[in-house]
Structure formats: structure tokens, C-alpha cells
Amino acid sequence: MEQNFLAFDLGATSGRTVLGSFAEDSLTLTEINRFPNHLIKVEEHFYWDIYELYRCVLDGITLAVREGIKPLSVGIDTWGVDFVCIGKDGGILRQPYSYRDPHTTGGPERFFNRISRETLYKKTGIQIMNFNSIFQLDAMRQAQDSALEAAEKILFMPDALGYMLTGEMVTEYTIASTSQLLDVHTRRFDKDLLAAVGLEESHFGRFVLPGQRVGNLTASVCQMTGVDSIPLIAVGGHDTASAVAAVPALNQNFAYLSSGTWSLMGVETVEPVVNEATFNLNFTNEGGVEGTIRLLKNICGMWLLERCRERWADADYNGLINEAKSSEAFRSLINPDDARFVNPSDMEGAIVEYCRTTDQPLPESRGQVVRCIFESLALRYRQVLEGLCSLSPHPIEVLHVIGGGSRNELLNQFTANSIGMPVVAGPSEATAIGNVMMQAMAAGVATDVAGMRKLVHSATPLKTYHPEETDVWNRAYLRFKKLVTNS
């Protein structure tokens, strides 16, 4: 008998509602609605519109009900680190800051005057990135932010939307792990780190793990959407946790690349890996489903192209790929993780300026810009994978590319060429699949992640890319490493 689940998958540029129809030997996904997730700029700050996201979630439920769908439950995943401040009366105090807001610039260095970089990493196992929740909270505290000062509770983004649906305040483990406030070994909040930003554990909702029930949708939500009073299940609240759960691997000898606005490359481990090597390479240990750890590194991903396309209003994606194919190889390269690409007003201009300051030929066409982005990403993937191979507790024989970027055949081939090992692409809907998987397991319809991965492997079209032109890519990699070191 087929069972239905609704997955809400919200990324940093768009969100969607996905219906997962699960049977013993099959899993079918159907997109119900898709909606943009726009940054709102007010003066010099960038915010998310939590109310608009909530409205779009309600629309998704309503549309599903109108189609005669009766879901057993719903689940929500989002991007990491960002959070909402809740007042004593239960109201949202202000639109939440975006992690791309500049108020955290220089934040880690200021924080390290009180707790050293080494101590922070040893406690949390989380890579140092200026937008981590701990640095956002510290920046707000230093600025005497009125929302933070009045906050009774702090809810991470999927938990905040879940609160708006159910009235229940929780802290889901995988999303909380991105905050750099959890002890990597106990997997609970570290009191010293909370105290450093003026908080206590009571400022957060009850702790839940993926697969646990949060609460039922409120009577108001049911009335507005026409849905029955069904539960919200805590899934891998961090979208990457949900995506990694759906990697169609049949053994543990793999690395994954969750490819979207961000590229997240890592391996799955049972225990955290925190040592001098992971510290020096700035690898992170984020929470996964079924008690796993995601040892990974964040890499700037398709954000580079997405921001360029904002200025190329008439740019067809497939057309850009064809333009890139016909452009000169390795004409110019960039470090995708250079600070100047975080949130420039003109991404194409920032790429051109990078090439100018590094004495490279300047991209003169859209195809050259796109090829520069793809080749640079593929070379950066190799650099990160080399570090990952030295840290992984098991050998890495294949790279699984999941998420929207898995549909990018040119980048997938470039990646295989660069890393010198097979790349298996798919599923593109990994995050939604992982979200549905945890709901199905909570309902007793599915048993475990390993079994679900076998189902995904057999039921999902996958494509394998094998390395080509490795000598050419090896030479380009030497140039890339020199460029990154000197830029």
C-alpha cells in the first residue's frame, strides 16, 4: 500500500514542497510547488522573509490537499546556521539575519580574543566560517541587538517554521550542529560556548533527533489548508544531512558532493574526526542521521553562476553550458572560496577583477565566465578531496554527486577528470528523498537508512562519469594550487 509524505525543502535561493509516495519497492517524488527565497536588503543588512516562507509552506499543503493527497506527516529541512529570535509572548521578534549579512565580518577574530580558535575547534569539530551561528550571535550581542536581548527562545530555521506549524519549540540535532555551539562528542550544547555569547541551554527548544515526532499541525494550520491534524516529523533539518541520507551507495567506500548553491564534500563516519590535521585543513564534523557524523568541507558552489545569471536575464542554462563547452579550456581560473565572491553586487565583475589581480586573461564572454567557474570548482573539489582521503577512516573509491548540481553533465565530467576517479551523479532530488526517508522510518514504513539507500540505488537513474584527459587536468591542478596559494 502506497503511503504519502510531504517534504518541505528550503534552500538559500529557492524552496519547494515535494510529495513522496512510498511503497515497499518504490519511491516516487512529485513537486507540488516551488517558490523563490529572496534575500531582503534593508540599509546595510540582509534578512530572510520568514513569513513569506511560512506562507509558501501553507500553499504547498493546501495544493496537496486539493489534489486529494492525504499525507501521513510532514518534514522540513533548510540551509544551516541561521536562526529566529522568539519573544516571551511567543512572537517572532524580527526577520532573521541571513548568513550573508556583513555584520559577522571579522567576528571570528574578535571571538578568539576570549576563546582561542584551537579551543573552539577542539570543542565543536566545526570548521571556522565567519557566518557560523556562534559568530552571528556574538556580533548581535556586541551590537546590543534588540531582538537578541529580548529573546526568550532561539530557533534554527527549520525549527522556526516547525514552530509556526505546530506551536512546538524544538532544536533538531543536525541543524544545531551547524551552529558551532554543540560539543562534538556529547552532541549537546556546550555551556562554556553558550556563556561566551550570553546564552543558556534554556534559550533553545527541547532537543530532538531525526525521526522523532515534533507535534501535530495546529488547528489553525489545518483550517487554513484543509489538511488533517497530522504530525511534523524531525528529519535531517539541515538540508545536507537529509541529502547525505539519500546517497545511493552500497558500501562505505565513498565520498559525497552535495552540489547546489553550496558544494559540500565529505564522508560519513561513526565518530567525529577532530585532530591537528582536520584543524589545519578546516574540516567540519556536522551531525547526520542515525547517529552518524558528516566529516566535510563547505565549498562555494553554484552560487557563483546563480549570481552571474541574475545579470544575464535572458540566459538559458543549457545555452550557457554550450557556450562554456565551446570556450577555451583553462583560460582563467579562480579560487571559488575567495572572500570577494561571498556576496558581491556584481559576481561577473568580481570574477573579472580576480583574474586581473592575478595576471590572467580576463573573461570576455559569458561562456568564458561559465567555463572559468566550472573548471575552478572541479579543481577545488580535487584539492578538498585530497585532504579528505588523508582523513577518512575508510578508502574512497567513488564520488557520489547528489543534489541539483548532479544534472550538470559538463561539471560532472570536469570533476571526474580533475579527481581521477569515477563520479556517480544522482539523485538530483537527494534532499527531498532523505527528508521523506526519515518520515517513512518514523511511520514504520521503512526500516533503516541502509535499506533506503539500496532502494534509491535501484529506483533512481544514475550516471557514471569516468576520468578523461587526466594529464591536462594534472597540469591545470598544479597551476590552480599555485594560484590559490598566491591570491
Catalytic residues: 239
SS3 category, 189: strand
What does 80-116 look like in DSSP terms, one character per residue?
SS-EEEE-TTS-B-SPPBPTT-GGGTTHHHHHTTTS-
Residue pair 269/293 in contact (Cβ under 8 Å)? The answer is yes
Locus of grid cell 544545531: 176
H helices present in 217-365, as ranges: 219-225, 239-245, 276-281, 303-311, 317-325, 347-357
Beta strand pairing status for 3-10 and 14-23? antiparallel
Residue 188 C-alpha cell reads as: 549537546
**CA–CA separation, 305 and 10 (whole Å):** 19
Residue pair 487/481 in contact (Cβ under 8 Å)? The answer is no
**CA–CA separation, 18 and 31 (whole Å):** 4
Residue 413 C-alpha cell reads as: 565530467
Q: How many helices (H) and strands (E) are present in the chain, helices listed first?
A: 19, 19
Residue pair 459/312 in contact (Cβ under 8 Å)? The answer is no
Cα separations in angstroms, 34 against 6, 8, 63: 13, 10, 11
Question: Is the preceding omega at residue 393 within 30 degrees of 0, hence cis?
Answer: no
- The residues, any chain, with a CB within 8 Å of residue 93's CB and separated by 6 or more, are 85, 86, 87, 146, 147, 150, 151
SS3 category, 48: strand
**CA–CA separation, 252 and 273 (whole Å):** 16
SS3 category, 355: helix
Radius of gyration of the chain (CA): 22
Locus of grid cell 582563467: 332
**CA–CA separation, 179 and 129 (whole Å):** 10
- The residues, any chain, with a CB within 8 Å of residue 121's CB and separated by 6 or more, are 127, 128, 274, 279
Q: Is 106 left (phi over 0), alpha (psi -120 to 50) or beta?
A: left
What DSSP designation does 268 have? Answer: E
